[in-house]
Structure 1
Amino acid sequence: MPDATRSLCLANGLHLLLRHSPRLNRAAAALRVRAGSHDAAARWPGLAHFLEHLLFLGTARFPLEDGLMRFVQGAGGHVNASTRERTTDFFFEVPCAAFAGGLERLCQMLAEPLLDSARQQREREVIHAEFIAWSRDAQARGEFALLQAVSPRHPLSGFHAGNRFSLALHDPAFQHALRQFHQRFYCGGQMTLSLCGPQPLDQLEALGRRYAAQLPTGPATAQAPPPALLDGAPLRSTELLFAHEHLPAGAERALQWLAEHITDPRPGSWLHRVQQRQWASACRVRTLYAFAGQALWHVELLGGDASRAAELRTLLYQWFDALRQAPADQLNEHFSRVQKRRADTVGALQLARADSSGLPLNGLDEQAQHALAALLDSLPSAGHAHWPLPAAEALLLDTLPASDGVSLPAAVDVAQSLPCLGHAASFTLRWRLPIAAPAALLQALQPLQARASQASVHLQLDHPGCFLQLQCRGPQAAVIRTVALALEHLRGFSSVTALGEQASAPVTMPIRALLAHLPEALSNQAPAPRTSISDDALWAGAQWHAQANGFDAGGLQALATALRAVPGQPAAGDFARPALSRRWQHVATPGGEHALLLFCPLLPGQQAAGRLLAHLLQGPVYQRLRVELQLGYAVFSAFRQVEGIGGLLFGVQSPHTPAVRILQHLHGILAAAVELTPQAQQALIEQFEQANMDPADIAHWAWQHRLAGTPGSLLALREALGDVCQADLERLQTALLAADAPWLCLANTAEPAPPWPPSNELLPERQ
């Protein structure tokens, strides 16, 4: 059944967009304020971003401990916000039962924020920590450098994130500007609220009308037009950077269309030719700015050959010529199919955000097609007359591939936790390797990953310890075709030919680098050293097992045919878990900030209590480390299952606090009393109702139980959560704090002198 939509304007001026999508099991809201960093006075860089942060710190009706962030986290949802140049977005996704509570808190915090000096003082330090991380991040610095290519009179070339020095809290003029900005722009006429979920449109409308009425009435305020982007001078950049002035309405959607075709990895495309010539391994297109007919966008090449820059530029200009001369219907059809697949597979949050931004997931309308013609006309040319277009993408087909009647191998576990509806299937294949795999193997599927991503299929290849793991999620027909292609690539992999195709690893935040290393650290098993370049030896002794989830009978038959090409030998799963002990592991990360992950593994019988303890600690961890101690802006805690091992996971990235001191603070939080309330217990139980869970989360949960070798059902998990009592939590806390508790600490600093933490007494925090 297709989605149903509705659009209306409320009495306070707010534009309300509604989307009923019956396939969803969660609901989302996305509110866009048409004001951003360039709308604040140039005297106060970072004011708009600072206000966005302040709005999350509670209101008189909903204090911080019951505000939007805590409420959504407690319901097992997602919440965030983003300040751009001319817009500010607030968005969350929750189970449907919690949607009204989240929407009430969102609208209330925007309408009646508490802007007292104590809150401002604390949050300015968080903004400053973000600024320090930004200044040390190579990718962020690279993007800022790109923005320097425009006119120095344009605000794009300036600094707008904010820091301790630009946010003059004690200056009355700053306080006046802060409140005036909120009063001027945070009103109905300046906002678009998008609601999306499985609820009927009338129910969504009633919720929108009820809670959005809290927002102040006000007309739309015209945002000041920007100065010229280039000021008559050529673009000052040697990058594949493009700037436009005076584009017609619909230009952002036209840029989406162009980005799809530039990043198209199918044979015959520009990117495919670049990859064939080994000039680059991948690319991405980023719209850096789009407002009032101006646009600035960048084509970033990954694993590129710098000596080929001129040839890459010429080839790209030839591709522009090919797009201009190609039949528009054929190109638009591919874009429409890609967009439809996304609309049919993404979650409520992505749909709500697409609607609120004015970039819905569908083909180009007449206005956008007119803008596309203007955009293409403004692009440079290389005089290329003919370029055959790529063939139709088979991964976008909804029909199942042919089956030859072969049965599924016994090594494939068919899970029943996902409904067999066709649009959300998951397949995971895991090999135990006899020798170390070459590093280039992880890049072997990179072109296919890009192709699968364009078809809304998640494809991932990981190498934790002595294992190689292939994961694929999406519509079942697309998953089967993608798995078949992935197996073909892996069987044909050659270390010799792959050496020149490796892409440099993307620079990432220190805490994300630690998270990426966690599976390998937990597996704690290494394959034998690679003594030969022979790739045949890699598969000769490999053993594999797999899990299929969400496939119907026809899908399983087609999958069985594809799995005939799996290299290695099928085998029963090896569920022997590695011995765990207290370990500190140093991981080199980019950037100069301190980062620490603490993973506390739990036995199966402890995991229900562990989930509840993690649920109850989310608020205190955030309050203590981020709000009170202001360690940094990257602070999180949760229960996680990694490599079949369930446990509590804590993460902190800080510009000034060393890892050992972070660990001491975490030790103190684990030692503090925690009260189990019936409300919190019931909220967590409801998170594991299948109707409230994202299909990807269900598939992950089922696979982790497969790795652990323990039978599991969501019903049994809910019952176990309901049986936990206060004494169980206290016993678990005692076990976690015992000297022999098998903590795993990943940090980007060397191991401190034992024992760690040195004591339960926390060192005084730096002011």
Structure 2
Amino acid sequence: MPDTTRHLTLANGLQLTLRHAPRLKRSAAALRVHAGSHDAPSAWPGLAHFLEHLFFLGTTRFPLEDGLMRHVQALGGQVNASTRERTTDFFFEVPPTALAGGLERLCQMLAEPDLGIERQCREREVIHAEFIAWSRNPQAQQQFALLQSVAGNHPLSAFHAGNRYSLGLRNVAFQQALSGFHQRFYQGGQITLSLCGPQPLDELEQLGRQYAAIFEKGALVPQASPPALAANTPLLFAHQGLPAGAEQALELLVANLGDNRAGSWLDALERRGWLKGCKVEKLYAFAGQLLWHIDLKLDPDADTDEALKLLYGWFDFIRQTDPGQFNSAFGRLQQRRERNATALELARRDSAGQPFAALDKQALGALKALLEQLPRHAYGQWQLPAAEPLLIDELPTVQTAELPPALAMSDLLPPSRQYAALYLRWHVPSALRQPLRGVLERALHPLQSRCEQTCVQLQFSASGEYWQLRCAGHPAAVVRATGQALALMQAPSNWQSSPPEAPALIPIRALINQLTDAVLGNHPAATPPCTLDQALLDGAWQHSHWHGLALGFDASAVQALGAVLQGCPGQGAVPTPANLWSGQRWHHAEVPGSENALLLFCPLPAEQQASGRLLAQLLQGPVYQRLRVELQLGYAVFSTFRQVEGIGGLLFGVQSPHASQAEILDHLRKLLGQGVTLDIGARQALAEQFDEPAMANADVAEWAWQTHLATQPGNLLALQRSILMTRQADLDGLLSDLLSTDCAWLCLANSAAPDASWH
């Protein structure tokens, strides 16, 4: 059943957009304020971003412990905000029954914030910690340097993040500017609110009218037009005077630039062996201006000038081709994206006025104007790529084949969800598995790019002696993508090229990427020198053993999947659960970045994992309050329950510019020693999160896979019951166990262990 939408203007001027999508499991709200960092007084860089932070610190009606962030997190939802140049966005996603509570908190905190000076002082330090991390992040600095190439008087080239020195809290003029910015822009005429979910449109409208009425009546405030843009780098493109619809037009162009199939620009680079990575990013769009960048990574031996000529030739080919042909293919792609989008993604697109759709007449005109401003150069041989098979909803025609015994089937995801997931895992004892992994990553990269374009998640990973392939999305697309992936993994075509470059990460994210290896107790091993070839890969596959899990496939899809898996390399096996270690372990990870970062993982035996989930839920608020708000250790602070290699446990993470890893760990110990109080409402809310109709499809699949790895029954109802049976004594006993000296703690940090008690 297609989505239905409704657009309204409320009495206070607020634009209300509603979307009824029956297939969705969750509901979402996205509120856009048409003002951002470029609309703030230039005397106070970062004021708009600072105000965004202050909103989340609670109000008289909804204090911090009952504010939007805590409310949404307690329901297993998502919540965040973003300050851009000309807009500020606030958004959350929750179970449908909780939409009203979230919406009330969102509207109330924006309309009637508490801007007390004490909370401003605390939050400015958080902003400053963000600034320090930003200033040390290579990617952030590269983008900042890139923006300096635009005209010097354009606000894009200025500093807008805010820090301890740009936010003059004790200055009367600053306080007047802060309250004035809020009064001017956070009123009805400046706001677009989008609600999306499985609820009927009338119900969504009633919620929107009820809670959005709190905003003062107003009109849209004209935003000052910026000075002209100028781009001085070959892969940075600046446009002026574009008509409405330019952002949608750029989205079509980006989709074509990201297409690596035969006949495309990326295909031309691939065939020459030059391409190592390509990312196209919109940097700015406002008042007919558009700035976007191609982050192109080429092999050192590549001819850069030739690559640019090919790019400009591809532009010329698109310019001369009937736009209807591109738009038709783009429309099919957008249909798939809309069907696969979450409630949050749909609400955010609606609030931005950018639906998942082919270009309309206005946007096609914008595409023509955009193409006219791109470099011209008739060069290269081009053709329109054939229809993308990953967008075909019908299953491939195959002969009937039974599923291999090594593949387990789960019925946790009904086929009616039109979302399937397949996990394949190989134990590869070969000493060459690490360099061979690089060969496979390179072989899979073009297919992964196509999958990303078509809303299919294709992930290849390696930990210790294991290789793993995960494919998820529309069932027909999963079958096709898996077949292509298995063929590439057994017979890669290019043995000489290196795998794609991994993006630079801040320390805490780099540690998260190494968590699986640390849990397994793996350390990098020396690889014997040799020249890799097909024979070595064949030998590795011959001695490997595999097992897997599939869910979300109907009977026809199971037959098609069975045919594909006849070509699965290795010998069938059964999962072997990872061993739970004893005592406290410290794993020193060498990761880039100068800030101190630490992950603390506390694994739990199977019988304690239900109470462990509840404990993690109850600790979320206190951890955030103590470490981020009160101690101001840094902006990257989190706590959660995480399953790694089938092992479930509590996970805490902190990145700090000033506190050492030992100090962070000490703060966590003291916090755990304070205990928690059982909250009956929180217990009920947590149990309700593990009902399949309430869980995101990807979360259902991942939970099923983790229980499969642990060789435990995949029974969500049993988990719900165990959570509901958790008592205060269970929480107290669990905390006591966690604080004992023989508890199986794992510290993963970018420093050596503080003392000999860790091994």
TM-score interval (norm. to shorter): over 0.9
Alpha-carbon shift at residue 163 of structure 1 (Å): 0.3
Structure 2 equivalent of residue 490 of structure 1: 489
The separation in 2 between residues aligned to 1:26 and 1:319, in whole angstroms, is 41
SS, match of residue 281 in structure 1:
strand
The separation in 1 between residues aligned to 2:374 and 2:172, in whole angstroms, is 48
Amino acid across the alignment from 1:706: H
SS, match of residue 544 in structure 1:
strand
Could you tell me the TM-score, scaled by structure 2's length? 0.97
- How is 1:714-729 mapped onto 2 (pairs within 5 angstroms)? 714-729=716-731
* Residues 502, 384 of structure 1: alpha-carbon distance in 2 compared, 3 angstrom cutoff: same
Structure 1 range deviating more: 689-698 or 417-426 = 417-426
The separation in 2 between residues aligned to 1:713 and 1:530, in whole angstroms, is 41
Structure 1 equivalent of residue 542 of structure 2: 540
SS, match of residue 498 in structure 1:
coil
Query: Out of 605, 608, 618, which is 2:607 matched to?
Result: 605
Structure 2 equivalent of residue 457 of structure 1: 456
Amino acid across the alignment from 1:256: E
* Residues 590, 528 of structure 1: alpha-carbon distance in 2 compared, 3 angstrom cutoff: closer
| 1:139 and 2:153 correspond | no
Structure 1 equivalent of residue 383 of structure 2: 388
- 1:324-346 superposed Cα distances (whole Å, 9 cap, x missing partner): 11222211111111111010011
- 1:541-593 superposed Cα distances (whole Å, 9 cap, x missing partner): 10000100000000000000000111111112223535354211111112211
Structure 2 equivalent of residue 500 of structure 1: 497
**Alpha-carbon contact 1:251-1:293 (below 8 Å) kept:** yes
The separation in 2 between residues aligned to 1:442 and 1:462, in whole angstroms, is 9
Alpha-carbon shift at residue 442 of structure 1 (Å): 2.8
Alpha-carbon shift at residue 705 of structure 1 (Å): 0.4
- 1:634-689 superposed Cα distances (whole Å, 9 cap, x missing partner): 11100011100000000011111111111111111111120002111111111111
Query: Out of 285, 293, 301, which is 1:290 matched to?
Result: 285
Structure 1 range deviating more: 664-673 or 106-115 = 664-673
**Alpha-carbon contact 2:75-2:94 (below 8 Å) kept:** yes
| 1:7 and 2:3 correspond | no
**Alpha-carbon contact 1:345-1:423 (below 8 Å) kept:** no
* Residues 284, 366 of structure 1: alpha-carbon distance in 2 compared, 3 angstrom cutoff: same
Structure 2 equivalent of residue 765 of structure 1: none
Amino acid across the alignment from 1:390: P
SS, match of residue 81 in structure 2:
strand
**Alpha-carbon contact 2:400-2:563 (below 8 Å) kept:** yes
| 1:31 and 2:31 correspond | yes
* Residues 67, 576 of structure 1: alpha-carbon distance in 2 compared, 3 angstrom cutoff: closer
SS, match of residue 416 in structure 2:
coil
* Residues 145, 639 of structure 1: alpha-carbon distance in 2 compared, 3 angstrom cutoff: same
The separation in 2 between residues aligned to 1:353 and 1:479, in whole angstroms, is 27
SS, match of residue 565 in structure 1:
coil
The separation in 2 between residues aligned to 1:695 and 1:189, in whole angstroms, is 37
Alpha-carbon shift at residue 97 of structure 1 (Å): 1.4
- How is 1:360-379 mapped onto 2 (pairs within 5 angstroms)? 360-379=355-374
Structure 2 equivalent of residue 645 of structure 1: 647
Amino acid across the alignment from 1:669: L
* Residues 644, 337 of structure 1: alpha-carbon distance in 2 compared, 3 angstrom cutoff: same
SS, match of residue 192 in structure 1:
strand
Amino acid across the alignment from 2:95: P
Amino acid across the alignment from 2:470: Q
The separation in 2 between residues aligned to 1:751 and 1:31, in whole angstroms, is 45
Structure 1 range deviating more: 565-574 or 123-132 = 565-574
- 1:45-89 superposed Cα distances (whole Å, 9 cap, x missing partner): 000000000011111100011000000000100000000000000
| 1:672 and 2:668 correspond | no
Amino acid across the alignment from 1:490: M
The separation in 2 between residues aligned to 1:581 and 1:470, in whole angstroms, is 32
Structure 2 equivalent of residue 754 of structure 1: 756
Structure 2 equivalent of residue 706 of structure 1: 708
The separation in 1 between residues aligned to 2:735 and 2:756, in whole angstroms, is 21
- 1:222-267 superposed Cα distances (whole Å, 9 cap, x missing partner): 111111113xxxx322x41110111111111111111111111212
Structure 1 range deviating more: 656-665 or 517-526 = 517-526
**Alpha-carbon contact 1:433-1:466 (below 8 Å) kept:** yes
Amino acid across the alignment from 2:756: P
* Percent of pairs with identical residues: 57
SS, match of residue 266 in structure 1:
coil
| 1:401 and 2:396 correspond | yes
**Alpha-carbon contact 2:638-2:652 (below 8 Å) kept:** yes
Amino acid across the alignment from 2:278: C
Structure 2 equivalent of residue 112 of structure 1: 112
SS, match of residue 163 in structure 1:
coil
SS, match of residue 314 in structure 1:
helix
| 1:176 and 2:171 correspond | no
**Alpha-carbon contact 2:17-2:192 (below 8 Å) kept:** yes
Structure 1 range deviating more: 386-395 or 114-123 = 386-395
* Residues 582, 54 of structure 1: alpha-carbon distance in 2 compared, 3 angstrom cutoff: same
- 1:378-413 superposed Cα distances (whole Å, 9 cap, x missing partner): 111112385211111000000001221110011110
- 1:428-458 superposed Cα distances (whole Å, 9 cap, x missing partner): 0000001141241333311111000111000
* Residues 304, 94 of structure 1: alpha-carbon distance in 2 compared, 3 angstrom cutoff: farther
- How is 1:326-345 mapped onto 2 (pairs within 5 angstroms)? 326-345=321-340
SS, match of residue 734 in structure 2:
helix
The separation in 1 between residues aligned to 2:14 and 2:713, in whole angstroms, is 50
Alpha-carbon shift at residue 303 of structure 1 (Å): 5.0
Structure 1 range deviating more: 574-583 or 342-351 = 574-583
Alpha-carbon shift at residue 306 of structure 1 (Å): 7.4
Amino acid across the alignment from 1:127: I
Output the aligned Cα RMSD: 1.5
Amino acid across the alignment from 1:59: T
Alpha-carbon shift at residue 43 of structure 1 (Å): 0.5
Amino acid across the alignment from 1:100: A
Query: Out of 620, 625, 630, which is 1:628 matched to?
Result: 630
| 1:92 and 2:81 correspond | no
The alignment covers a number of residue pairs equal to 750
SS, match of residue 232 in structure 2:
coil
| 1:315 and 2:310 correspond | yes
Unmatched 5+ stretches in structure 2: none
Alpha-carbon shift at residue 307 of structure 1 (Å): 5.1
Structure 2 equivalent of residue 73 of structure 1: 73
Structure 2 equivalent of residue 433 of structure 1: 428
Amino acid across the alignment from 1:315: L
Structure 2 equivalent of residue 509 of structure 1: 506
**Alpha-carbon contact 1:286-1:298 (below 8 Å) kept:** yes
Could you tell me the TM-score, scaled by structure 1's length? 0.96
The separation in 2 between residues aligned to 1:49 and 1:451, in whole angstroms, is 36
